[in-house]
Chain A
Amino acid sequence: MNFAQFTLQEQGVVILAALVLFTSFSLLAQTRIIACIHAFAWQGALVAAATAMVALVAGQHHLYISALITFALKAVLIPWVLHRIVVKLQITREVETVVNPSLVLLAAAALVAFSYYVALPVEKLSTLATRNTIAISMAVVLLGMLMMVTRRQAITQVVGFMSIENGLFFAAVVSTHGMPMVVELGVAFDLLVATVIFGVFFFQIRQSIDSLDVDRLSRLAESTEEEEQQDNHG
């Protein structure tokens, strides 16, 4: 089967998937916290749009509801909450230094290739028009993890976490036209609670270390031999 034989709507889904991947890259490259949150909101909106498009293509009406929930939650509510927290903590102008940004982007490209490789046998099994986007969804998950690894700010780590969720949701949509409704609602509920808890945490972290730089959360690392010796001497 050839790509050109897809209907325009199906091609639209693929284009949206590619754009979602692009937002993942831009999340990785953004250094300003506010810009990161905006990129995340765009990703949520694109995922929701892709979901609605899949619903249209496949005639799966329950996906419209999923798309709506996703849009409300990931394109509006969560970015709004994060934005408010950033304003409240007065870090709107904060810029985060990413160590070696070009290396990060190269690693990201490698991860995309890797997810393609892993998703290949999965895609072979599927007959859906959207099956090729499974690799994209997996890449979004992995890029979210990469973002969490490379960032030091608590808020951007959370954005990475949420973008992983985006990838997971997208995976469910494109591989199987969404999970059963009850599971999707459960996941959305968990995400909502997680957002609230994250919000609480930002204030707790801020209170305890007077910063949101999680690198400074290092009291609990396994102590090295030298430290132990120092402790013994002291």
Chain B
Amino acid sequence: MNALFATLLIPLLGTLLMAVVPRCRIAGWVNVAFAAATTAASIVLALEIFESGPLLSPGKFFYVDAFNVYLLVLTAFVATTTAIFSRPYMDHELAQGRVNNRRMRLYHAMYQGFLFTMLLALSTNNLGILWVALEGATLATVLLVSLYRTPESVEAAWKYFILCGVGIAQALFGTVLLYFAAASVLTSAEDGLLWTTLHGIAGQLDPTVMSIAFVFLLVGYGTKVGLVPLHNWLPDAHSEGPTPMSAVLSGLLLNVALYAVVRTKMLVDGALAAAPNVPQPQLAGYLMMAFGLLSFLVAGLFLHRQRDIKRMFSYSSIEHMGLMTFAFGLGGPLATFAALLHMTLHSLVKSAIFVTVGHATHIAGTQAIDKIRGLIRTQPTVGWGLLLGTAAIAGFPPFGLFVSEFLLLIATMQSWPWLTVVLLSGLAIAFAGLFRNIHPMVYGNQPEGQTPVKANMLPVYLHLLLALWFGLAIPAVLAQWFDQATQLIAGKGVL
């Protein structure tokens, strides 16, 4: 219990403190310290959950089970490593004059605020608060996207704000409908938004209302996941904001939004399965599969025509989120296990890639793919980082993403054999798109006068090593853990 409060309070305190710390040099370090403390607290929490099972706070306000606790740890961990990267990166931006001290203060305060809202979204039991926290995450990051105040960044932030705002409004409508469905079953409506309560009475909820609610929730949170055709904000917001922001947006925020979708899917599945005469008992799953597959394919195609390196990797994020949505929609233990594994690995690898890309853009002084050349000669650590990261994200064998994609393919083969072909060709398209652009950036002739920058590649290699480790052998503890989460979501585990 205390560990949970610590996990939430530390970033909240950080937000307040950062807002008043005047010296940005210290602020960078403080930022790292707060994030690290949060990680420590979340690991303690995870161990508690692992020992004693799901935790429901006395007021039923928080609920932590195997599913969200691992996301809590992942979020805190990636936020920490990104904070480590962000300190020198933002110092560099400050030295370049792209930001000033006041904006640095905003940046650090909002970094912690963003972390807080995500952790709150993950740990709350109340679906209304989940919505509030996700909207809060948008609010915290939107001013960071426009941090550089260039016309492009302002435009990206505006798009991000408006699209996500409208999208997530749909989710609130869905939440209202959920509450409505619950209120017509429960005697005291006060508990009607608590996920645990809803899950308990899922079988009695009206299937039609739940289906309508799910459509709204999927559209709403799906906008935040970046599902096609609601993805327009994502490449802009990722490419125009500071790179550490891209890393956490891509690696974490999308996960949290997907988490919200999966949580509601569990409720809808429960309602539809129990009701007699429902024409389409797996409606939620089918919708997710359709949206997921569409995002996966469209984003894969868009990878080929990108000219901005950060935009390209944000399309890669859409592609992977599509894949996960598809996997969660497919349901079943194997696909769910694959989706959870994929979620973890994608977060690790994608944030590592964005960190590397941040360094690469500092080396080349631009984000244009045509202008970034010969990284491996100028600074081998960055070049190798980018190459390995891309290999990992494309699902090359030794890395963990290969395992999760392989598991997903098997699961697809079992229930939807002909979709395997689509998935495989989608993977091939995405692979080609990535390497077509990455190859010249890493190997090409380096331009005159290109010099190395001060780069902290520790987070990158740490993340890639983890991805490699997961690919070679998933640690027993983690496997057990994923299996517990799979049991929660899919009804039974794979192990």
Distance in Å from the Cβ of A189 to the closest Cβ of chain B?
7
Residues of chain B with a CB closer than 8 A to A94's CB:
none
Contacts of A207 in B (CB 8 A): 149, 154
Q: How far is the CB of B404 from chain A (nearest CB, A)?
A: 29
Q: In this complex, what residue of A is CB-closest to B205?
A: A125
Interface size on B, residues (CB 8 A): 52
Does chain A have a CB within 8 A of B156?
Answer: yes
A194, CB-defined interface residue at 8 Å: yes
Q: Is A77's CB within 8 Å of the partner chain B?
A: no
B 136-147 to A, binary, CB cutoff 8 A, 1 in contact else 0:
100100110010
Mark contacts of A168-193 with chain B using CB atoms, 8 A cut-off: 1 yes-contact digit, 0 otherwise.
10011001110110110011011001
Bound complex: CA of A175 vs CA of B169, how far in Å?
A: 17
Q: How many Å lie between the Cα of A42 and that of B212 in the bound state? A: 30
CB distance from B187 to the nearest CB of A (A): 14
Contact of A176 among B131, B139, B183, B240 (CB under 8 A): B183
B129 contacts A220, CB within 8 Å?
Answer: no
Chain A residues with CB under 8 Å of B235's CB are 220
The answer to whether A164 and B169 touch (CB under 8 A), given A172-B179, A182-B126, is yes
What separation, in Å, do the CA atoms of A187 and B173 have in the docked complex?
12
> Which residues in B have their C-beta under 8 angstroms from that of A164?
166, 169
Identify B176's interface contact among A148, A179, A208, A218, CB under 8 A: A179
Distance from A165 Cβ to chain B, minimum over Cβ atoms (Å): 7
* A180-B186 Cα distance, complex, nearest whole Å: 14
Task: Answer yes or no: A200 CB below 8 A from chain B CBs.
Answer: yes
The reply to whether A182 and B155 form a contact with Cβ atoms under 8 Å apart is no
A125 and B206 contact, Cβ closer than 8 Å, known pairs A176-B180, A183-B126, A208-B149: yes
Flag if B166 contacts A190 (CB, 8 Å): no
Given contacts A118-B212, A126-B180, A182-B128, contact A176 B169 (CB under 8 A): no
Q: Are A200 and B155 also in contact (CB < 8 A) when A121-B212, A208-B149 are? A: no
A187–B235 Cα distance when bound, in Å, is 27
B151 A208 Cβ-Cβ under 8 A: yes
Cβ-defined contact, B158 with A217, below 8 A: yes
Complex Cα distance, B208 from A154, in Å, reads: 37
Whether, in the assembled complex, A214 has its beta carbon less than 8 Å from a beta carbon of chain B, the answer is yes
Are B169 and A168 within 8 A (Cβ)?
yes
CB-CB under 8 A from A220, the residues of chain B are 152, 155-156, 159, 235-236, 239-240
Q: Would you call B154 and A122 a contact (CB within 8 A)?
A: no
Residue of B nearest to A173 (CB): B176
Cβ of A204 within 8 Å of any chain B Cβ, yes or no, is yes
CB distance from A185 to the nearest CB of B (A): 9
| Shortest distance between the CB of A230 and any CB in chain B (Å) | 13
- B445 close to chain A: CB less than 8 A: no
List, in ascending order, chain A residues with CB within 8 A of B132's CB. Answer: 183, 186-187, 189-190
Q: Is B162 an interface residue (CB 8 A)?
A: yes
Q: Which residues of B contact A189 (CB under 8 A)?
A: 132
Interface size on A, residues (CB 8 A): 49
What residue of chain A has the Cβ atom nearest to residue B209's Cβ? A122
Interchain CA distance A69-B112 in the complex, whole Å: 29
What CA separation (Å) do A34 and B152 show in the bound complex? Answer: 28
Does B269 reach chain A (CB closer than 8 Å)? no
- The residues of A that contact B170 with a CB separation of less than 8 Å are 141
Report whether B192 and A176 are in contact in the complex, using a CB–CB cutoff of 8 Å: yes
Q: In the complex, A223 Cα to B305 Cα: how many Å?
A: 9
Give chain A residues whose Cβ lies under 8 Å from the Cβ of B177. 122, 175
Interface string of B293-326 (1 = CB under 8 A from A): 0000000001001010000000000000000000
Asked if A201 is at the interface (CB within 8 A of a chain B CB), the reply is yes
| Interface flag for A86 (CB, 8 Å) | no
- Kindly supply a per-residue 1/0 record for chain A positions 151-170, scoring 1 wherever the CB is within 8 Å of any chain B CB and 0 otherwise: 00010010001001101100
Q: Is the C-beta of B135 less than 8 angstroms from some C-beta in chain A?
A: yes
B169 near A186 (CB under 8 angstroms)? no
- Closest residue of A by beta carbon distance from B215: A118
A interface footprint on B167-199 (CB within 8 Å = 1, 0 otherwise): 001101101110111011000011011000000
Q: Which residues of B contact A218 (CB under 8 A)?
A: 155
Q: Give the distance to chain B from A141, nearest Cβ to Cβ, in Å.
A: 6
Interface residues of A in 188-226 (CB under 8 A from B): 189-190, 193-194, 197-198, 200-201, 204-205, 207-209, 214, 217-220, 222-223
Residue of B151, B170, B189 contacting most chain A CB atoms (<10 Å): B151
- Is A138 engaged at the interface, CB distance under 8 Å to the other chain? yes
Evaluate whether A141 and B169 lie within 8 angstroms (CB atoms) in the complex, with A175-B180, A197-B142 already known: yes
Q: What is the minimal beta-carbon distance from B477 to any residue of chain A, in angstroms? A: 35
User: What residues of A have a CB within 8 angstroms of the CB of B291 in the complex?
Assistant: none
- The smallest beta-carbon distance between B478 and chain A, in angstroms, is 34
Pair A214/B158 contact, Cβ less than 8 Å: yes
CB of A145 closer than 8 Å to a CB of B: yes
> Do residues A204 and B154 form an inter-chain contact, with CB atoms below 8 A?
yes
8 smallest beta-carbon distances between A and B, as pairs: A183-B128, A186-B132, A217-B155, A208-B151, A121-B208, A175-B180, A208-B154, A190-B135
**Additional A-B contact list (5), CB under 8 Å, known A168-B176, A182-B126:** A118-B212, A125-B181, A141-B173, A171-B173, A187-B135
